[in-house]
Structure 1
Amino acid sequence: MGLPTAGRDLLAHGIGGAKDLPIPLELAIAGAVAALVVSFTVLAVAWRTPRYDAATSGRPAPAWLDRLTSSTAWRVALRVLGFVFFLYVAAAAVFGQDTLVNPFLGVFYTLLWVGLVPASVLLGPVWKAISPSRTINAVLAKVSGSDPEVGMYTYPERLGYWPAAVGLYAFVWLELVYPHSTEIGPVRLWCAMYIGIMLIGGALFGNRFYERADPFEVYSSLVAKLSVWGHRDGRLVIRSPLANLDTVPVAPGLVGVVAVLFGSTAYDSFKEASPWVKFVQTTSIPSGLIDNVALLVFCVGVGVIFAAGCMATGVGPDVRRSTLPDVFAHSVVPIIVGYIIAHYLTYLVEYGQTTIVQLSDPFSRGDDYLGTADLEVNYWLSFHPDFLARLKVGAVIVGHVLGVIAAHDRAVRILPRRHQLTGQLSLLVAMVFFTVGGLYLLFAA
């Protein structure tokens, strides 16, 4: 693909706006709200006891598959493949040309950030298996005779997921706000700082640091909870996605992670809306300041609205109200996945193909190392706006319905019986607000 088209795709993130959505906005919103209300009503009547239990849910996977995925050879093979790909892309970042056709940008923004979602849903926690930081840390530990699981210090549990939330915010800031986000130099520097921090953190706190502080691993592992693959007593099991979602480890900062993921996706759509574009173009306020404030407001706003919806309920003597946002934060994961599909599907499919083509020529010299340089990009999705529209709206609605189910099961488990239904109303209102706002932004972009 030539430079003009590739650049346009990368800068626009491939997000289809109103022209791609030949469905009345009012009809989409009405249908989505009705789906949420009906789902909640049905759950209130038919789902009065918790159904998900990590200790019993799921059935054992085939023995041969469990042996394969738990074998040292399998884990080493994944790490080697992941690290070889990391070195290949790093070579493009260091020695390739500073242009939009450098595959480093496509790998970073497309295959890594957006591609982690379908990969993790289908295969499980992909980044944990191929993370270059984990690989380097494991090799250094092997050389020094130490255990990569154990660092010099114990990871402070009070930090929880907050370092990952900060790291995720740093990424979305680079992608959505930083004015030079499509230049190789700044992105390369960001990646170098990320790798450096991960290696220092792994040396200090062991692999626990990656589980809580690596933004990409936390992102991938959260989304992977919507896959059918899980573990129980060290063995691979097959679970329903919602049963797997219920196993998300609760720790401080989890609501911060989902707020950044959800809020940044909403902001990415909002900044393409015509009223906002007109305001930015006509105001005397520097656009950089406006964009920074808007991204922060979206992320913090999502967190505050969700936290308020969770905390506006009665609690029992064994539950602290301040912990409820983190306890229910797992219910936002399917909503995040739904919005990522709605906002980035075209971008992933079409610019992802472009990136695969560009990967064959990492130094822009006319090479064809991977044999993909002559492949043609398929624009089927862009040529079928009706199908694309229904898929986008359907993804948003399904994500919210699954979120309501996940929240309901957690509520009937931890809330006092007298508050199990009425206590969910405030959270339902928050989810309705997210649905209406999300669909409006999807149509307004």
Structure 2
Amino acid sequence: MLALLGVTLLATPAIAHSGALRAATARDLAIPTWLFLATGGGTVGASFLLASFVTDRAFIRSIHDWGEDITPPDILGRALRLAGQLFGLSALTAILYFGFLGPDTPRRNLAILLVWVAWWGGYVGSTYLLGNSWPAINPVRTVAELLPSLDYDYPDRLGAWPSVAGLLALIWIEVISPLADEPTLLATTVAGYCAVTLVGALVVGPDTYFARVDPVSRVFRYYGRVAPLGRDESGNLELRLPAMSLTEERLVTGVDEVAFVVCLLFVTTYDGFVGTGPWADFARAVVGVGVPPLAVYLGVFLLGFAAFLGVFWLANRSARERGGTYLTTAYLARRFAPSLLPIAAGYHLAHNLGYVLTLLPNLLSVLASPVDPLQNPPILAALPGWFGGLELAFVLLGHLLAIWVAHATAYELFPRRMDAVRSQYGITLVMVLYTMISLWIVSEPPVEPPFL
């Protein structure tokens, strides 16, 4: 822990890729990269040992079972929902209006700033830091619930696979297209997504579509399980410790949902990876021998997702063999998949917080005068030196929570203490490696992805 503290104090931050709207400066680590990564990975490994040998089932159960019912009165709940619906509809209207009719300069266009700074950078963070308010704010759902539905039966064989494909498609479009540079293209993409979503909701019903098909709603629902505010099995609003509900069996119910959780983790990593120098060098080298640029990006995108999913599956197979259980690998993957969500949340926060703070004055300036904004809206010129340590702490905190959730889940699944500990060897190794990858991406100076 002393070594971790030293690394945190000596490290300096790097702002990550977020669309193409950039306001970052490159910074370097004050210590060797190998020591920085080894310390982060070692911290996660040490936390596994600490959780394994200093806790017992009663202590873990007391932590995970704590919760306070804070369900508001019905009239207040309805008022908050109505306020959320009006806010969502207003925000969508502003995005479409200023996307098509606003200024062409990205930093002067309210649609660009609302989507990338306020929504993707800021609001997404609120879903895992506070709670998931998207069901009330979602403007497409608000409209869909006012219209008649055909209520066709959704094919059970499809499961969550359409949402996996949808999430991959959305991130792929975000990475390869200039959505953060061209307001009209962004507004067209948003309008297309809303149209497809509205048609789907009208065909199978809003409840089914937003619960099973819509990738955005699923992202927020999973992120919301990391937050301290959430719904219990009865639907009541409760206050709980962050990430402690991730051991519940009902959260992930099939291999398709396992794939979505892994996909959520992967796309966050890929989005940051393509903004690093080593990727730029690799892409130029491969394109230099005749491979089309989009084929390079798409190939690594699909192979990377397959690799993430395969490694996680192997880790669960190892858990089954070392734990000596009759439980299947698929069942273990379902139970351990939620432990990946704090990692995705921690990396998203580290990946976007500096970006949001840097451009927040820009957003407020354009909000004050969206029709005729300043020619050069203000930005936060530089973040304090200690901010880099904060970013790195978010990454490590997400991984430490993940270790705890996996440890608590293992204690639920394996009756013998040492079987539970041994089952975590593969999972912990995967988390250590992912910690090092995440820290490396965050520490890399940001560069413009080539050929895009």
Task: Return 334-343 or 416-425, whichever deviates more.
Answer: 416-425
**C-alpha offsets along residues 197-249 of structure 1, whole Å, 9 cap, x if unaligned?**
22122223321321232222222222222221122323222111132333462
Change over 3 Å in CA distance of 1:37–1:122 after alignment to 2: closer
Q: Deviations over 1:408-435 (max 9, x none)?
A: 1111112353631111101111111111
Cα offset for 1:308? Answer: 1.6
Is 1:272 aligned to 2:275, yes or no?
Answer: yes
In structure 2, C-alpha distance between the alignment counterparts of 1:243 and 1:55, rounded to whole Å: 5
SS of corresponding position for 2:238: strand
In the alignment, what sits opposite 2:88? 82
Matched, 1:350 2:352: no
Deviations 1:44-66 (A, max 9, x none): 223342745999541222xxx62
Q: Is the 8 A contact 2:96 2:191 kept in 1?
A: no
Is the contact made by 2:125 and 2:348 (CA closer than 8 Å) also made in structure 1? no
State the secondary structure of the residue aligned to 2:251: coil
Q: Which SS does the other structure have where 1:421 is aligned? A: helix
- For residues 422 and 122 of structure 1, do their structure 2 counterparts lie closer, same or farther at Cα, with a shift above 3 Å needed? closer
CA RMSD of aligned residues (A): 3.0
Structure 1 residues 48 and 14, CA, compared in 2 at 3 Å: closer, same or farther? Answer: farther
- Structure 1 pair 52–193 and aligned structure 2 pair: CA distance change class (3 A): farther
1:168 maps to what in 2?
167
CA positional deviation for 1:402:
0.5
Matching of residues 236-275 of structure 1 within 5 Å: 236-247=237-248, 249-252=251-254, 253-275=256-278
Partner residue of 1:396? 395
Measured at CA, do residues 109 and 426 of structure 1 come closer, stay the same or move farther in structure 2, by a change above 3 Å? same
Classify 1:322/1:185 alpha carbon distance in 2 versus 1 (closer, same or farther; 3 Å). same
Matched, 1:60 2:62: no
Residue 45 (1) aligns with residue 41 (2): no
From the superposition, tell whether residues 360 and 289 of structure 1 become closer, same or farther in structure 2 (CA, over 3 Å): farther
Shift of 1:268: 2.9
Deviation above 6 Å: which 4+ runs of structure 1?
Answer: 315-318
- State the identity %: 25
Deviations 1:329-380 (A, max 9, x none): 11111111111122222112222432332234444x359xxxxx9984334x
Task: Give the superposition deviation at 1:158.
Answer: 4.2
Choose from 84, 93, 101 the match for 2:99.
Answer: 93
What residue ranges of structure 1 are gaps of 5+ in the alignment?
1-7, 368-372
* Superimposed CA distance per residue, residues 257-312 of structure 1 (whole angstroms, 9 cap, x where no aligned partner): 23333222322332233233223334232222212222223333222222221222
Note if 1:34 corresponds to 2:34. no
Q: Give the counterpart letter for 1:251 in structure 2.
A: T
Residues 275/245 of structure 1: CA separation in 2 closer, same or farther (3 Å cut): same
* Closer, same or farther: CA 30–317 of 1 in aligned 2, 3 Å: closer
Tell me the secondary structure at the aligned position of residue 234 of structure 1: coil
CA distance in 1, matches of 2:178, 2:90: 31
Residue matched to 1:196? 195
Q: Which amino acid aligns with 1:421?
A: V
CA distance in 2, matches of 1:317, 1:158: 28
Which residues of 2 match residues 303-342 of structure 1 at below 5 A? 303-314=309-320, 319-342=327-350
Q: CA deviation at 1:132?
A: 0.8
The CA distance in 1 between the partners of 2:420 and 2:46, in whole Å, is 17
Distance 1:396 1:14, change over 3 A: farther
Partner Cα separation in structure 2 for residue 292 and residue 181 of structure 1: 20
CA distance in 1, matches of 2:64, 2:242: 15
Question: What CA distance in whole angstroms lies between the structure 1 residues aligned with 2:420 and 2:152?
Answer: 41
Q: Offset of 1:89 from its aligned partner? A: 1.9
**Does the CA-based 8 Å contact 1:227-1:244 persist in structure 2?**
no
Secondary structure of 1:237's match? strand
Q: 1:436 to 1:415 in 2, by over 3 A?
A: same
Does structure 2 conserve the Cα–Cα contact (< 8 Å) formed by 1:263 and 1:295?
no
- 1:178-257 superposed matches below 5 A: 178=177, 182-206=181-205, 207-232=207-232, 233-247=234-248, 249-252=251-254, 253-257=256-260
The 1-side partners of 2:147 and 2:280 are apart by 49
Task: Indicate the SS of the match to 2:231.
Answer: strand
Output aligned runs, 1:108-147, within 5 Å. 108-141=115-148
CA 1:350/1:427 → structure 2, altered by over 3 Å: closer, same or farther?
same
The one-letter code sitting in structure 1 at the alignment partner of 2:241 is S
The Cα shift of 1:318 comes to 6.3
Change in Cα spacing, 1:317 to 1:260, as seen in structure 2 (3 Å) is: closer
| Shift in CA distance, 272/198, structure 1 to aligned 2, threshold 3 Å | closer
Q: Distance in 2 between matches of 1:378 and 1:69?
A: 41
* Higher deviation after alignment, 89-98 or 395-404: 89-98
Q: 1:431 to 1:392 in 2, by over 3 A?
A: same
Quick check: 1:53–1:243 contact (8 Å CA) kept in 2?
Answer: no
Moved more, 37-46 or 255-264: 255-264
Instruction: Give, as a single letter, the amino acid of the residue that structure 2 aligns with 1:237.
Output: E
Amino acid at match of 1:377: I
Q: Does 1:378 align with 2:380?
A: yes
Query: Matched residue pairs, number?
Result: 417
- What SS does structure 1 have at the residue aligned with 2:158? coil
Please give the secondary structure, in 2, of the residue aligned with 1:115. helix
Structure 2 spans left out of the alignment, 5+ residues: 1-16, 446-452
Distance change >3 Å, CA 320–CA 427, structure 1 → 2: same
- Distance in 1, Cα, partners of 2:190 & 2:330: 35
TM-score, normalising length from structure 2?
0.82
Measured in 2, the distance between the counterparts of 1:13 and 1:400 equals 27
Per the alignment, do residues 69 and 246 of structure 1 end up closer, same or farther by CA in structure 2, a change over 3 Å counting? farther
Q: Decide whether the 8 Å contact of 2:343 with 2:402 is kept in 1.
A: yes
Question: C-alpha displacement at 1:21, in angstroms?
Answer: 3.9
